[in-house]
Structure 1
Amino acid sequence: MWRRVASLSHILSPSKSSALHQGICRRTVWEAFTTDIMHPAIGGVASEEKNPLITFVLGGPGSGKGTQCAKIVETFGYKHLSAGDLLRKEISSNSENGAMILDTIKEGKIVPSEMTVKLIQKEIESSDNHKFLIDGFPRCEENRIAFEQIIGMEPNIVLFFDCPEDEMVKRVLSRNEGRVDDNIDTIKKRLKVFAALNLPVIKHYTEKGKVYKINGVGTADEIFKQVHPIFTELFVK
């Protein structure tokens, strides 16, 4: 069954310095894009008449979070939001912001956390739904802080899909998606960066009692048996 994370010392490696986290975060957001309870605040989406239900979904590449998001959407009616998808969507819309994002990318720079969060905010505010899965975001403390400042609230819960490195590597390699970075060495580097960046985020929300650790080993249905009661409990509170 699911359980809240009590200690992360055996899951991820010790955290690095804040400066290192921010530097890796900026680089990783770019790499991921190119390769791949609540606290209301004035002006944020939490000030709307009906507060949204926000779930952050975190896990390394190949941890199975995408598959589980699809099951959560189908079973509980959540809207699935991916930061990378939103950036690509904005670029394809030929909007002013989209052009700015594209220019930023062409210049070899990182799309600022603020811009990504505002795209998420736009989706939340324009949706008829009030339940959201934010998949693979925040990637680091910089993302988290930007989200809370702009949106004006914290997530209700955080799902952390914990999966052994060997299993994640095997899954990514078996996808056969034709990505140039789908090789063992590169995948292992991505996993190390994921661990370094996400430790502070997971630790922060663990201290607030919001993190649910999911064993990412097993079939999709077996893993969903751990996920299902979390959302059932959330709706009856």
Structure 2
Amino acid sequence: MIAEGRIVPSEITVKLLCKAMEESFQVSGNDKFLIDGFPRNEENRIVFENVARIEPAFVLFFDCPEEELERRIMSRNQGREDDNIETIKKRFKVFVESTLPIISYYQSKGKLRKINAAKSSEEVFEAVRVLFASET
């Protein structure tokens, strides 16, 4: 599914997330989690809310132009099967159709925190660090 640029079913993803969070809490006692790349669509969001019963404190959105993302993916040279132009274009299409509405949803709830990710990694890291420091 990943190689085809498609999204893994929500039930599987949410159960894996809940299991990982529960195990982490048992080990560390930490009840704060940063979940990368989730939710990606409306179904993800609804299943997460119903199964995990967790409302996020905020949703972090790394905003970056498509051309810059494509350049970065193609130059990361990690040998991933899904790092090719066809799959990248499919991912962008899925993002626009499925994930952007979720971004709008959290923005309407006042929960969206947007970071300009077109900057250098150092600048992005600093913006994220400042954001997390102000949210705690």
TM-score by length of 2: 0.85
1:114 maps to 2:15 = no
- 1:153-210 Cα deviation digits (max 9, x unpaired): 2111111111111111110110112233323343123112112111221111111101
Matching residue of 2:64: 163
Q: 2:20 aligns with which of 101, 119, 123?
A: 123
Distance in 2 between residues matched to 1:183 and 1:121, nearest whole Å: 31
Task: Name the CA shift for 1:111/1:222 in 2 (closer, same or farther; >3 Å).
Answer: closer
Distance in 2 between residues matched to 1:116 and 1:123, nearest whole Å: 11
Q: 1:188 aligns with which of 82, 85, 89?
A: 89
Task: Name the SS for the 1:193 alignment partner.
Answer: helix
Conserved? CA contact 1:35–1:179, under 8 Å: no
5 Å matches for 1:5-16? none
Q: Rg bigger for which structure?
A: 1
Matching residue of 1:211: 112
Matching residue of 2:79: 178
Q: 2:99 aligns with which of 159, 175, 198?
A: 198
Q: Which runs of 5+ in 2 are unaligned?
A: none
Q: CA deviation at 1:111?
A: 5.3
Matching residue of 2:42: 141
Distance in 2 between residues matched to 1:121 and 1:112, nearest whole Å: 15
Distance in 2 between residues matched to 1:111 and 1:141, nearest whole Å: 13
TM-score by length of 1: 0.51
Distance in 1 between residues matched to 2:20 and 2:39, nearest whole Å: 16
For residue 115 of structure 1, what is the amino acid of its counterpart?
Answer: I
For residue 69 of structure 2, what is the amino acid of its counterpart?
Answer: M
Matching residue of 1:81: none
